[in-house]
Amino acid sequence: MAGLAEALGWAREQITSRVPKADLDQRDPDYIRDQLPGTWLLASLYFRADVQHLDRIPAEGPVLLIGNHSGGNVPPDTFVFTLAFCSYFGVERPFYQLAHNLVVSAPPLGWLRKFGTVAANHENARMALESGAALLVYPGGDYEVFRPSWERHTVDFDGRMGYVKLARDAGVPIVPVASVGGQESALFLNRGQWLAKLLRADKTLRLKSIPISLALPWGLNISDLAGHLPLPTKIAIEVQHPIEVDGDDQAVHDKVMASLQAGVDRLAARRRFPVIG
C-alpha cells in the first residue's frame, strides 16, 4: 500500500510540475491563421459542422463563453467552435480556452497553447478576462464530457457554478454555447467515477472520472488518456443570447442552464440519426 501511495504521489508531482504557468503571450495569431484551412477542411468535410449565431457574441471586449462539453478527450465541439470564432472575429481578437491540467501538460499537445489553451483554474480565467479576451469555459469538464452517450442531449455541470462568480468579478456577460454531436464520436458507456476513486486518481490527478467507452481504434477504451479516433459525427453549434450577471449565483446559473438546454434541445430536434446528423 505504501508503494502505491508513493507511485501516485510521484505521478502527481510529474503532472503538476509540467502544468505550464499560463502565459497569455503564448497564443500565436499567425500560427492559428496558418492552421485554419486544415481545421476548416476537417470541420467541413469530416464533421460537417454547422455553427450558427456567432453574431450574438459581443463584437468586442471580454466575454465568458460557457459551453456544454462532449466527445471525451477528443472533443470536436471545442475545435469547431475555436475555428468558427477565429474565422468570424479574426485571429486578431484574443480568445482563450480553459482545459484540464492533463491536456495542457501533455508534451504532444504543446501546440494547443498557441491556440490560446491554458490550464483550467480561476487565476488563469481571471487573467484572461482582465486582459480583455474572450474566454471559453466548459464548467462540466471531465464529468460532463464522459457522460454516457444515451445522455448526450442532457446538459449537466454537476452543480458547478464557479463561472458565475468569475463573470461577476470580471464584470463580463456570459454567452452560452450549445452543441450536439460530440458525444456520438464514440460510444461512451460509463463515467467510471467509481474507478477513479478506487485508483485514487481523483485525489492524485484531479481526475474525477476514468471513463469506459467503445472507441476507434481501441475497441474497449478505458480512461481515454491516449485519445481515440472520433467517428465522423455531425457537429452542430448554436450560440445563445448573452446573459448579464445581475442576480444571485444560483439564479444566473439557472438561466445559463435553461438557455443551454433549450439550445441543445433545438439542435437535437433537427437531428434525424446519430452520427449522420
Partner 1 sequence: MRVERRNVINADRDLVWKIVSDPDSYPSFMTNLERWESANDQSPGVGARYFVHWKVGSVPVGGLMEIVEFDDLRDLAWVGITGVTVRGRIRLRDEGQGRTKVTFRLSYQAPGGIWGYIADRVAVRQVGRIAADTLKRLKERAESRG
- For partner 1, the binding residues (CB under 8 A) are 33-38, 40-41, 43-45, 47-51, 54-55, 59, 80, 83-84, 87-88, 90-92
Work out how close the CB of 222 gets to partner 1 at its nearest, in angstroms, rounded to a whole number.
32
CB 246 → partner 1: shortest distance, Å? 27
**Minimum CB–partner distance for residue 17 and partner 1 (Å):** 34
Between 52 and 149, CB nearer to partner 1: 52
Query: CB-wise, 30 or 226, nearer to partner 1?
Result: 30
**CA-wise closest residue to 98 among 141, 59, 131:** 141
Q: Which is nearer to partner 1, 49 or 103 (CB)?
A: 49
Cβ proximity of 240 and 176 under 8 Å: yes
Distance of closest approach, residue 33 Cβ to partner 1, in angstroms: 5
Give the nearer residue to partner 1 in terms of CB position, either 139 or 263.
263
Spell out the residues 6+ positions from residue 267 whose beta carbon is closer than 8 angstroms to its own: 178, 179, 180, 236, 237, 238
Residue 17 CB coordination number (10 Å) = 8
Task: Tell me whether residue 34 or residue 248 sits nearer to partner 1 (CB atom).
Answer: 34
Query: What beta strand segments (E) does the chain contain?
Result: 50-52, 63-67, 95-99, 117-119, 134-137, 174-180, 187-190, 212-215, 219-222, 236-239
Inter-residue contact 97 to 135 (CB < 8 Å): yes
DSSP symbol at 180:
E
Shortest Å, Cβ 216 to partner 1: 22
Instruction: Measure CA 63 to chain center.
Output: 16
Closer of 37 and 219 to partner 1 (Cβ): 37
The CB-of-128 to partner 1 minimum distance in angstroms stands at 22
Cα gap 39→17, rounded to integer Å = 31
Cell 501538460: give the residue: 105
